[in-house]
């Protein structure tokens, strides 16, 4: 049978997908992954039956039907049995399914996705009708099912009427494809329901789209940007439960020692729930054998914030969820988690398989509240991004930013090994900011020997959640939580301390050390002086709602552009102009540089060091790292985030140059540059204006031609001399490069140009690199003479001349020496 190209395309797509799913099913079946195999068999069967229906005269139709029946039969044979309670109460399973489908339909309806809502309402009605037939002898269930049916029917009628009315109106709504990426910045990047205004263009450039798509592949898996359409992700209750197509996560060595199987939540408890109670609880979080203490500490402080301030900070990144954004248990096992990764919000799809040992106990972080899932599922999603449970660890800045999008800052408690001089000010700041809800904080310990660690009751190289910061009875105290939920501080103000805990102090902090001694949940108080001594870093993630305006640029910095080190020049580094209104007297502008990470090896070895230099020089390109002197000279750190904070009251200018810097750059990096500000601003790349370039790549000072500078007139004229001709008035940039020894410079002498006939010089003699930029240079000829500072200093050099107008550059022949 001959098919038109269009009909052939309609056939081949589903057929290839069915073949792929069947292969996956057989593969899972052979490896005893029966739940996954059943799912793939069912999906392959559905596609083949659809083909048989859509192509009734096609010669392979009978074969498709036969194969589909075989796949369905195999799926039924290997389907995972229900839990004991479900087998005793099948009516509860049916009712749960009907409610779930109705909730999915209502969610789509509320978001204005009428097309999906109609499909889901009809699925809910079909499932409810089937349940009503099977449960007709159970009046209590009949009444509940009847209510579901009535609500679904009413909404379907309403949507059909609405659709009919819309057909009479002119025009049609255009829906942007999910992978088009031509959506506003704010739809891409608004951070956890902040109200920040966009201070720049509304759409991404093609280059930015490329950066975002390239860095969507993390540890060989795709994590695409989270878009508005993803709020309508379908989590429907399938005949077979959802299984992640990416397979099970890689286990850590400690997990493998005790691993028994992957289990669904309803295999582990009778009544799984996403959140047990009104709020998530930081005290319910318990870390197990995975080395992700910073992530678990991050979960703790975010959970405490959510409970303390009544704002969904963590629970609202879990889908599916109700109208009030509260996540709920999905019987079909499919979940979506929204993380901030590589400069943008991205979605992570997981199933609810969790690793357990022979006793049925979880080998992942979990909640001590029975049946509560949010901790284990968020951790699983994050571990999927990180390449599996065999996670080398990160830090809380990275983890909290991924969870919340809050602005990361790293505060070293012992800079250069010395105590901070502003320790008192630091304490006042963290206490006030925590009280206001402006910050999430954790503290990290340095490496310490086993004896010191045991004596102090602290774990070396470990992250602790900061739960509270207080001044009580004139004592500066901080409450911390060990993610292990055991092993506590043994020094001053621990539960073992009998000297410092007065009755008044206990009352003020509502703390009883005697009771605490009987129950080790990893929570303890420590005095600020001890924290400064035993800990080395405080990680703070700032609430972006402290600002009014924001804007982001996503960019690529190729490995071959610019020097490997920034010792001599930053002229070819990526540079940006940040401009605020000159009328702004106070306020702040914070600049966050985020390097995109796509490989777990980055976390293991941390070889890339990035930072930012900020200059108050009216947005002009900077060539020398310390000329002019930077307002902020960022420390090179091997973390993906670097934050520079500009306090406008402390600087004179309002027009800045931002320079991206990387120590010993060897690879292409992708990064995002985001500004948060209290007033409007513009952030734009500083573009090289020069269209015409000439280079001398074989320049050399050798023998007589190593004549030295003008201080040595007897030999100066022996230096190499180059004739520059400008074909019009324009701006030029002349760069001279050489090895770090000797110091170099050059002179520019007008020959027959119009205008002032004055000598131009590159400035102080420097090691490695010198540059001269001249605006509005008259048309004509010029002599460029590169020199070393002293005579007889031999070296090779590279001379580059760039111009806004056409130019020629030729070496001037020297008179023959006799």
Active site residue 293: yes
Catalytic member of 103, 219, 482, 543: 482
723 is catalytic: no
Per the CB < 8 A criterion, the answer to whether 692 and 807 are in contact is: yes
Element (H, E) at 107: helix 90-110
Clarify whether 33 is annotated catalytic. no
Residue 801, Cβ density class (10 Å: 0-12 exposed, 13-18 middle, ≥19 buried) = buried
- CA 7 to chain CA centroid, Å, is 42
- What helix, strand, coil percent values describe the chain, rounded to 5? 35, 25, 40
List CB contacts of 178: < 8 A, sequence separation 6 or more. 227, 229, 230
The conformation of residue 622, written as its DSSP 8-state character, comes to: -
> Which H or E run includes 159?
helix 139-167
What per-residue string of b and e applies to 170-196 under the rule 16 or more CB within 10 Å gives b?
Answer: eeeeeeeeeeebebebebbbbbbebeb
Catalytic-labelled residue, pool 33, 185, 188, 462: 462
Strands (E), 308-372: 318-319, 334-341, 344-351, 354-356, 366-367
Alpha carbons 615 and 620: distance in angstroms, whole number: 9
| Helix (H) / strand (E) containing 767 | strand 766-767
Q: How far is residue 141's CA from residue 118's CA, in Å, rounded to a whole number?
A: 25
Indicate the helix (H) or strand (E) that contains 402.
helix 396-404
Phi-psi domain of 475 (left: phi exceeds 0; alpha: psi -120 through 50; beta: other): beta
Three-state DSSP at 791 gives coil
CA atoms lying within 13 Å on the CB side of residue 82 = 15
Query: What are the residues whose beta carbons fall under 8 Å from the beta carbon of 445, sequence distance 6 or more?
Result: 458, 459, 460, 461, 462, 464, 534, 535, 536
Q: Which residue in 714, 697, 715 sits closest to 706, CA to CA?
A: 715
Angle at which helix 5-30 crosses helix 61-78, to 10 degrees, equals: 30
Using DSSP, state whether 52 is helix, strand or coil.
helix
Q: Which of left, alpha, beta for 493 (phi over 0: left; psi -120 to 50: alpha)?
A: left
Q: Which residues have a Cβ under 8 Å from the Cβ of 94 and sit 6 or more positions away?
A: 127, 130, 131, 134, 135, 141
| Total residues belonging to the chain | 818
Among candidate residues 28, 98, 282, 293, the one labeled active-site is 293
Q: In what order do the strands lie in the sheet with 730-737?
A: 692-701, 795-803, 730-737, 769-777
Q: Which residues pair with 676 in a beta bridge?
A: 550, 590
List active site positions: 293, 462, 482
């Amino acid at each position: 049978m001959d098919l038109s190209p269009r009909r052939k395309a309609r056939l081949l797509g589903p057929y290839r997908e069915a073949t792929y799913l069947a292969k996956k099913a057989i593969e899972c079946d052979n490896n005893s992954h029966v739940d996954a195999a059943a799912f793939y068999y069912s999906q392959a069967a559905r596609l083949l039956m659809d083909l048989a229906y859509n192509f009734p005269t096609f010669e392979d139709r009978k074969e498709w039907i036969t194969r589909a029946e075989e796949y369905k039969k195999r799926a039924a044979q290997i389907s995972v049995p229900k839990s004991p309670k479900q087998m005793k109460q099948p009516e509860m399973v049916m009712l749960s399914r009907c409610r779930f489908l109705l909730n999915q339909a209502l969610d789509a309806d509320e978001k204005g996705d009428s097309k999906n809502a109609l499909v889901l309402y009809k699925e809910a009605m079909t499932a409810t009708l089937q349940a009503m037939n099977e449960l007709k002898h159970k009046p209590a269930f009949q009444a509940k099912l009847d209510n579901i049916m009535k609500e679904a029917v009413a909404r379907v009628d309403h949507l059909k009427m609405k659709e009919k009315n819309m057909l009479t109106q002119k025009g049609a709504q255009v829906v942007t494809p999910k992978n088009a990426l031509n959506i506003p910045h704010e739809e891409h990047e608004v951070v956890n329901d902040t109200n920040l205004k966009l201070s720049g263009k509304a759409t991404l450039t093609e280059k930015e789209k490329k950066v975002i798509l390239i860095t969507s592949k993390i540890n060989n898996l795709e994590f695409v940007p989270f878009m508005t359409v993803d709020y309508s992700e379908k989590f429907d209750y399938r005949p077979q439960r959802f299984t992640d197509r990416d397979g099970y996560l890689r286990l850590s060595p400690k997990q493998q020692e005790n691993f028994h199987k992957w289990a669904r939540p309803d295999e582990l408890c009778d009544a799984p729930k996403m959140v047990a109670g009104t709020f998530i609880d930081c005290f319910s979080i318990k870390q197990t054998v995975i080395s992700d203490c910073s992530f678990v500490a991050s979960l703790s402080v975010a959970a405490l914030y959510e409970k303390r301030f009544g704002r969904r900070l963590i629970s609202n990144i879990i889908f599916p969820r109700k109208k009030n954004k509260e996540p709920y248990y999905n019987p079909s096992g499919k979940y979506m988690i929204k993380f901030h990764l590589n400069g943008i919000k991205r979605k992570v799809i997981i199933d609810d398989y969790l690793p357990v040992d022979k006793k049925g106990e979880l080998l992942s972080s979990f909640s001590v509240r029975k049946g509560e899932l949010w901790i284990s599922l968020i951790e699983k999603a994050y571990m999927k991004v990180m390449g599996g449970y065999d996670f080398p660890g990160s830090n809380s800045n990275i983890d909290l930013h991924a969870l919340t999008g809050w602005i990361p800052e790293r505060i070293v408690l012992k800079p250069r090994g010395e105590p901070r001089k502003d320790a008192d000010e630091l304490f006042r700041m963290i206490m006030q900011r925590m009280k206001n809800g402006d910050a999430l904080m954790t503290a990290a310990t340095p490496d310490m020997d086993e004896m010191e660690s045991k004596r102090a009751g602290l774990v070396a190289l470990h992250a602790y959640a900061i739960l509270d910061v207080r001044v009580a009875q004139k004592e500066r105290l901080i409450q911390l939580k060990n993610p292990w939920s055991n092993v506590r501080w043994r020094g001053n103000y621990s539960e073992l301390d009998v000297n410092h805990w007065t009755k008044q102090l206990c009352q003020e902090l509502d703390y009883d050390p005697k009771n605490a001694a009987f129950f080790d949940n990893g929570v303890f108080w420590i005095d600020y002086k001890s924290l400064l001594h035993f800990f080395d870093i405080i990680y703070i993630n700032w609430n972006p709602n402290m600002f009014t305006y924001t804007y982001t640029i996503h960019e690529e910095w190729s490995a071959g552009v610019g020097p490997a080190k920034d010792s001599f020049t930053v002229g070819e580094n990526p540079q940006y102009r940040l401009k605020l209104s000159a009328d702004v007297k106070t306020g702040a502008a914070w600049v966050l540089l985020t390097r995109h990470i796509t490989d777990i090896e980055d976390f293991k070895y941390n070889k890339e060091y990035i930072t930012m230099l900020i200059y108050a020089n009216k947005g002009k390109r900077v060539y020398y790292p310390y000329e002019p002197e930077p307002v902020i000279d960022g420390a090179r750190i091997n973390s993906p985030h670097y934050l520079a904070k500009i306090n406008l009251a402390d600087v004179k200018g309002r027009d800045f140059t931002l320079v991206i810097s990387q120590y010993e750059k060897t690879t292409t990096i992708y990064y995002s540059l985001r500004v948060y500000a209290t007033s409007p601003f513009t952030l734009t790349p500083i573009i090289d204006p020069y269209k015409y370039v000439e280079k001398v790549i074989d320049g050399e000072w050798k023998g007589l031609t190593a004549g030295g500078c003008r201080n040595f007139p007897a030999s100066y004229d022996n230096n190499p001399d180059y004739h520059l001709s400008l074909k019009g008035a324009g701006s030029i940039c002349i760069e001279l490069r050489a090895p770090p020894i000797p110091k170099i410079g050059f002179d520019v002498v007008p020959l027959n140009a119009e205008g002032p006939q004055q000598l131009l010089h590159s400035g102080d003699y420097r090691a490695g690199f010198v540059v001269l930029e001249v605006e509005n240079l008259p048309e004509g000829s010029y002599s460029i003479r590169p020199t070393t500072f002293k005579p007889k200093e031999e070296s090779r050099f590279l001379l580059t001349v760039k111009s806004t107008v056409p130019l020629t550059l030729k070496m001037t022949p020297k008179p023959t020496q006799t």
